[in-house]
Chain A
Amino acid sequence: MNSPLARHPLVQLTLLRFREFVREPEAVFWALIFPILLATGLGVAFRGGSTGPVNVAVTSAELARAMDGQGALAPEVLDTGAALDALRAGRVLLVVERDAHGEVVFRYDESNPEARAARMAVNEALQVAAGRVDPVSVRDDLWRETGSRYIDFLIPGLVGMGIMGNAIWGLGFAIVDARRRKLMKRIIATPMPRHLFLGSFLAWRMLLLPVEVGVPVVFGALAFGVPVRGGMVDLVVISVVGSLAFAAIGLLIASRAKTIEAVSGLMNFVMLPMWVLSGVFFSAERFPDAMQPFIAILPLSALIDALRSSMLQGVPLTGVGTELAILGAWTVSCFAVALRIFRWR
């Protein structure tokens, strides 16, 4: 601790952030370990989900035999009650049964695309087994590109979600905790320039960013071959711009709250809509058209869209200018308001 650099208040304040983080095992877990566990779990669950055999329940061996030789179908013979239980529990996508008139009945959830596909495959198998001859001859040429699988979709989403969570939680809890224990008041009673106190949070965000972005990206690349087509520089630029936006939002959330409960509520209130709407786990296009303009200006949507375009499609930074501009606007406006209303004691 003898170098002049180590005696600079910004360095000491950033060290404070660093020490509070690494000495809190739960913080490290949620920031760094949890995203890996989540990606592993989801990656394994959805790995080649569409290529495995489709589970269907049938109520007679005769129906099962009709599907023999269809490798894509895995029929299981159950009585009607057990078959419906299996459908309810999601173990099978479709129940196939022959009614009193000899008609085949398909039972499935038609809002589930996989169940619709299963119905078509089973129908196909039954018709062919009964002697249908197709007039057009076809063959499959299977093509699986990295960048179009669910895990490819997921990793940029998790990176964006991590940047948001770490920035908002990191600033929110630390600032309100310092205010609550009057540590902030004690610190501003010294000659320390106030901007350094806030600056230390930004410095700490930037120091942690390589880890919080690097961990899921490297994990995705090694375990699943998720690409970074846009290159590391672009990934860094997008991440920094995103992290600044969420740091500003975190600062605004924490600018007046006096208790941990109050700030927790505010943080969840701000983040929850983005977890749902911004396309972390599934495409935001599924929401109605009327909501799309609103979704597009959410900072997490902008960040994740930019990350996906860059990582998966290799779109250059000029191609994600709109997203970066949205993030920049959030940064500037939230910082401006936060600094105006910030409560130092």
Chain B
Amino acid sequence: MSRASSTPALRVQGLRKAFQDVHAVNGIDFEVRPGECFGLLGPNGAGKTTTIEICEGLTPADSGVVEVLGLRWETHAAELRQRLGIQLQETQLAEKLTVLETLELFRSFFRQGPSAAEALALVQLEEKRNARVGGLSGGQKQRLALACALVGDPALLFLDEPTTGLDPQARRQLWDLIDQFKRDGRTILLTTHYMDEAQQLCERVAIMDHGRIIAHGTPRELIASIGVEHVVAFATDRPVALAPLEAISGVKAVRTAADRVELQVTELHTCVPALLAEVDRQGLRLTSLTTHSATLEDVFVSLTGRHLRDE
């Protein structure tokens, strides 16, 4: 492995940032390797935006080290700005401009990179080139924001919640684009509170909560780490006694949600019959029963006892 490629695309160490008495980022470390898509996964308020904006040189940190492409913001800000692609959470571009005019504006800020029309093709928005930004759908606006991040031909892309608020179809379309950016050899740091997004796009994930990283690794490693293969969720006509459920062999944890009970289990084929027998023994009627393979969501639940998105 050459020396250049072993330099992390982004290195964060001991990073802290407080707003008045809120410790938005409370001592975190992580590295993003060249060519990978690294995800910061966490609920709202976890500190993802604060972290990514410190890495983008937009927010000063209270303490800690941030090295982007081997460079520091304090000494190489001008060069870093040329080499980064940034999409902020909640930017509204100028509504009165057309799509192409917006890209020409952003393109003019960078020394080199694709033309406005080429950037438009990268996000498959060519048919909207002369449409006003104000008239675009949410997904189209988000694709335009991505195109604005690409006009400098960046080595490293920062994407802050790129699909929040989009409908499922628009999200899939955006995932395809981000996949394509990865194939083009760009490194990506992405934040999200959708576990399926992190699972789908990211080689490695850091799970954030209350300003700290509470777990990190590949999605597969993280899911394996909780020793749970499946989650069984069920509801009954009357409240169920929980203690006997915890005693079922293969059940790792029992958690009650508003309208259902969730069991984290190692083996479906033994746990489900045991559960049915127990429900029957308590004289209850099952009103729903679903199972799914464990996801990053379940990792978060088992680490914090909460869901990523509070329903």
Contact = CB atoms under 8 A, between A and B. Distances in A.
A24 B91 CA distance: 21
Interface string A8-27: 11011101100110011000
Interface stretch (B101-109, B177-185, B218-226): B101-109
Interface in B70-91: 78, 81-82, 84, 86, 88, 90-91
Contact of A16 (B86, B90, B94): B94
A11 B108 CA distance: 9
B105 A191 contact: no
Grouping DSSP codes into helix (H, G, I), strand (E, B) and loop, the B interface class, with mixed when no group exceeds half, is loop
A190 interface: yes
B92 A13 contact: no
A181 B101 CA distance: 18
A136 interface: no
Contacts, number: 72
Given A8-B108, A16-B105, A189 B94 contact: no
B58 interface: yes
Contact of B81 (A13, A20, A191, A345): A191
Contact of B94 (A20, A185, A190, A192): A20
Interface string A210-241: 00000000000000000000000000000000
B284 interface: no
A13 B105 contact: yes
B92 A181 contact: yes
A182 B104 contact: no
A198 to B, nearest CB: 15
Contacts of B108: 7-9, 11-12
B88 A15 contact: no
Contact of B104 (A1, A178, A187, A190): A1
Contact of A182 (B82, B84, B90, B152): B90
A189 B56 contact: yes
Given A16-B94, A19-B96, A20-B96, A182 B88 contact: yes
Contacts of A47: none
A186 interface: yes
A25 to B, nearest CB: 11
Nearest to A186: B91
A183 interface: yes
Interface in B103-151: 104-111, 116, 148
Given A12-B108, A182-B88, A24 B96 contact: yes
Interface residues on A, range: 20 to 34
B272 interface: no
B170 interface: no
B57 to A, nearest CB: 8
Interface string A58-90: 000000000000000000000000000000000
A187 B92 CA distance: 11
B248 interface: no
A9 B93 CA distance: 17
Nearest to B96: A23
B58 A191 contact: no
Interface string B202-234: 000000000000000000000000000000000
B261 interface: no
Nearest to B148: A186
Given A23-B96, A183-B93, A15 B86 contact: no
B65 interface: no
Contacts of A13: 105
B166 interface: no
B88 A185 contact: yes
Contacts of B81: 189-191
A170 to B, nearest CB: 14
B97 interface: yes
A1 B103 CA distance: 12
Contacts of A183: 91-94
A169 B95 CA distance: 19
Nearest to A8: B108
Nearest to B104: A1
A191 B88 CA distance: 15
Contacts of A8: 108
Contact of B86 (A20, A23, A24, A189): A189
B111 A181 contact: no
A24 B97 CA distance: 11
Interface in A157-187: 178, 181-183, 185-187
B104 A191 contact: no
A181 B108 CA distance: 21
B153 to A, nearest CB: 12
B80 to A, nearest CB: 9
Nearest to A21: B96
A189 B58 contact: yes
7 contacts: A1-B104, A24-B96, A182-B92, A185-B91, A189-B58, A190-B110, A190-B152
Interface of B: 56-58, 78, 81-82, 84, 86, 88, 90-94, 96-97, 101, 104-111, 116, 148, 152
- Give me the 6 closest cross-chain CB pairs, A-B, nearest first: A181-B92, A191-B81, A190-B109, A12-B108, A192-B109, A23-B96
